[in-house]
Amino acid sequence: MEPEPIYLSRLQHYLYCPRQFALIELEDVWVENQFTAEGKVLHQRVDQPDKQKRGDIRSVRSLRLSHAALGIEGVADVVEYHIQPDGSEQPYPIEYKRGKPKQHRADEVQLCAQALCLEDMEGLLVPEGALFYGEVRRRHVVYFDATLRELTLQTIQACRDIVQSKTTPKAVYKAGKCRNCSLIEQCHPQDFTRPASVWLAQQLTEN
Amino acid sequence: MRPLRNVIYIQTQNAWVHKDNDNLVMKVGDEIKARVPIHKLQGLVCFGQVSISPYLMAHCSENGVTITYLNQFGKFLARVEGPVSGNVLLRRTQHLTGADRDKSVAIARTMLSGKLYNQRAVLRRYLRDYGDQADGQAMAAELTTAEKRLSRCLNQLADCDAIDTLMGREGEAAQVYFGVFQYLIRQPDFQFDARRRRPPTDPVNALLSFCYTLLTHDCRSALETTGLDPASGFLHQLRSGRPSLALDLAEELRPMIDRFVLSLINKRQLSLKDFEEWPNGSFTLKEEPRRTLLAAWQDRKQDTLMHPWFEESVPIGMLPWTQAQILARFLRGDCDSYVPFLWK
Ligand code: SF4
């Protein structure tokens, strides 16, 4: 039996925090907060599948992607097909993101995984794509080089390891990261890393 | 902590409750008696003859709002809930843990430790507030003795390695605690000599039973929200239809209820004539005073207590939820012990 596919959108959770990925993937923890709600509104605009052609670019919104061998699947916000002089089409994935370009490479990995799917589906190389950031309203070109591809493959494997082991990694508290995490209420990164039994024994013997 | 949502208690007989846009609307005859935004709800508890529209039911079930039907006297009748959260891994771990004798004993022990600790806190608080009053010398002595005996029972829990012995200690502690409970009641017309449940044979027991039912309801909802199976307990034996885990979880929180009951009596929010005596010698609260009690309970739930483990203050109404969460995290292996709520 084939393993359940990993959703492209979950790869970024893993890169943000492996525990966050596990909470969502294994524990069905999902919190509708301001950030996710905003993301949804942004996506609703691009989520109705449709096709458009403008000049030598044909764009498809909400395109379903998958890569059977890698066991990943998801939906691309927009895939542009750039029509080449010889008539062939070069796929070019574009992902819409709330906010602005980030320090970590989570968005790039998600995009690169889309490119891997496109390559598998179309049977050709996809060398680049773009991230569109809502806050700065600018396209940020991403080249799918060997380093990014390697990181993407590693991330997919790491996600699969968590799914197969069915274990949520323990919390590692990092103030900057955890405070912006929508799952902090469910995760309690600071509390559950303390030794509970020692604490309890202390409390019960104290008078 | 996440915001405390309300449990709405509906006890107006022949009330019709339905959904109007995003509001819950309660009507009696043609008159609208209440209108509440549904997103503020956590649960709906109906006493007796209350009708709910299927559309409101559907909306509640989609939004994780559970509906509980009790008869007029607070006895559980039925419950309507949406699809349970898909936490099948957690539930499997819970059931495996429940089947493991040693692990069950360990969890049950921590829960009962919490209960005894909190019972002791009730006595200590009373001693602190009233212990030095002139009329109370003899009483204070008895309370102090009881408090010491509770401490001893609490220490002895640590050595119990079977559910039976744990239950034995718990029973002993209950005898001690309820043995001096009368002293905590400062209204002479309310008499109490022992805890009697089936049926409650005096107003104090009737109040305790009624409020424990409310607590169990909240514990059950909290467990369900967290993805745990309320029917599969560690301390309480499995029995079909019994919310064993909700009863387990309620144990450590009961002393908070006891305090609430005491304050209702001591602040004269209720008096003897608010109770009805039945031919079999049992007592129940009349309808109007029950309204008073439920309103007071809603208020009390907003009060906050310091949660020593989280080191933050938590509304009393959220305690079942915080504890369910700790239990779930413990079962998932995040921490090496369940941590009961300890009332400081
Ligand atoms: S709160 Fe911190 S540790 Fe927990 S899931 Fe979020 S980022 Fe990870």
CATH value at residue B76 = 3.100.10.20
Across the range B108-137, mean pLDDT stands at 85
> Is residue B30 domain-resident?
yes
Cα separation, B41 vs B39, whole angstroms: 5
The candidate with the shortest Cα–Cα distance to A29, out of A15, A13, A5, is A13
Domain boundary among B21, B53, B80: B80
Q: Chain B: nearest CA to A132, how far in angstroms?
A: 33
Domain boundary among B80, B108, B130: B80
Would you state the pLDDT for residue A48? 52
Element (H, E) at B139: helix B137-157
Task: Look at residue B173 and tell me whether its pLDDT is greater than 90.
Answer: yes
> Is residue B320 domain-resident?
yes
Q: Which residues contact B228 (CB under 8 A, 6 or more apart)?
A: B87, B90, B91, B94, B245, B324, B327, B328, B331
Region of poorest pLDDT, from A40-54, B96-110, B172-186, B317-331: A40-54
Do B94 and B72 fall into the same domain?
no
Across the range A104-130, mean pLDDT stands at 93
Domain boundary among B63, B80, B97: B80
Instruction: Please report, for residues A44, A46, A61, A63, the alpha-carbon distance to residue A49 in angstroms, rounded to integers and kept in the order given.
Output: 10, 8, 5, 7
Q: In chain A, where do the E strands start and end?
A: 6-7, 51-54, 57-67, 72-83, 89-97, 128-133, 138-143
> Is residue B55 domain-resident?
yes
Chain B: residue whose CA lies nearest to A193: B335
> Is residue B337 domain-resident?
no
Q: Output the CA A159–ligand 1 centroid distance in Å.
A: 16
Do B70 and B100 fall into the same domain?
no
Phi, psi of B147 (to 5 degrees): -60, -40
Do B108 and B201 fall into the same domain?
yes
Phi, psi of B314 (to 5 degrees): -130, 135
Comparing B294 with A153, the larger pLDDT belongs to A153
DSSP state letters, B231-291: T--SSSPP-TT--HHHHHHHHTTHHHHHHHHHHHHHTTSS-GGGEEE-TTS-EEE-HHHHH
The three-state secondary structure class of B3 is: coil
Cα separation, B297 vs B259, whole angstroms: 11
Would you state the pLDDT for residue A42? 47
Range of the domain at B169: 89-332
Q: With bands split at pLDDT 50, 70 and 90, how would you rate the model's confidence at B17?
A: very high
For chain B, say whether A195 makes contact (Cβ under 8 Å). yes
> Is residue B308 domain-resident?
yes
A 10 A CB-CB count for A190 gives 14
**Which token pair is B193?**
């000599």
DSSP one-letter code for B335: S
Across the range A175-191, mean pLDDT stands at 84
Task: Look at residue B4 and tell me whether its pLDDT is greater than 70.
Answer: no
Please indicate if the annotation marks B252 as binding a ligand.
no
Task: Look at residue B115 and tell me whether its pLDDT is greater than 90.
Answer: yes
Would you state the pLDDT for residue B128? 82
DSSP one-letter code for B83: P
- Give the tens place of pLDDT for each residue, B248-284: 999 999 999 999 999 999 988 888 888 878 888 788 8
Do B102 and B68 fall into the same domain?
no
Q: With bands split at pLDDT 50, 70 and 90, how would you rate the model's confidence at B242?
A: confident
Q: Is the CB of A13 under 6 A from ligand 1?
A: no
What is the CA B324 to chain-centroid distance, rounded?
13
Domain CATH code at residue B126: 1.20.120.920
- Give the tens place of pLDDT for each residue, B20-29: 888 889 998 8
Per the document, the length of chain A is 207
Do B64 and B192 fall into the same domain?
no
Q: Output the CA A192–ligand 1 centroid distance in Å.
A: 11
The candidate with the shortest Cα–Cα distance to B51, out of B27, B32, B34, B75, is B27
Do B213 and B166 fall into the same domain?
yes
For chain B, the domain total comes to 2
Cα separation, A154 vs A157, whole angstroms: 5
Do B256 and B153 fall into the same domain?
yes
Do B176 and B281 fall into the same domain?
yes
Task: Look at residue A36 and tell me whether its pLDDT is greater than 90.
Answer: no
Task: Look at residue A206 and tell me whether its pLDDT is greater than 80.
Answer: no
Q: Which residues contact A143 (CB under 8 A, 6 or more apart)?
A: A127, A128
Residues of B in contact with A191 (CB under 8 A): 309-310
∠ CA A64-A69-A74 to the nearest 5 degrees? Answer: 20
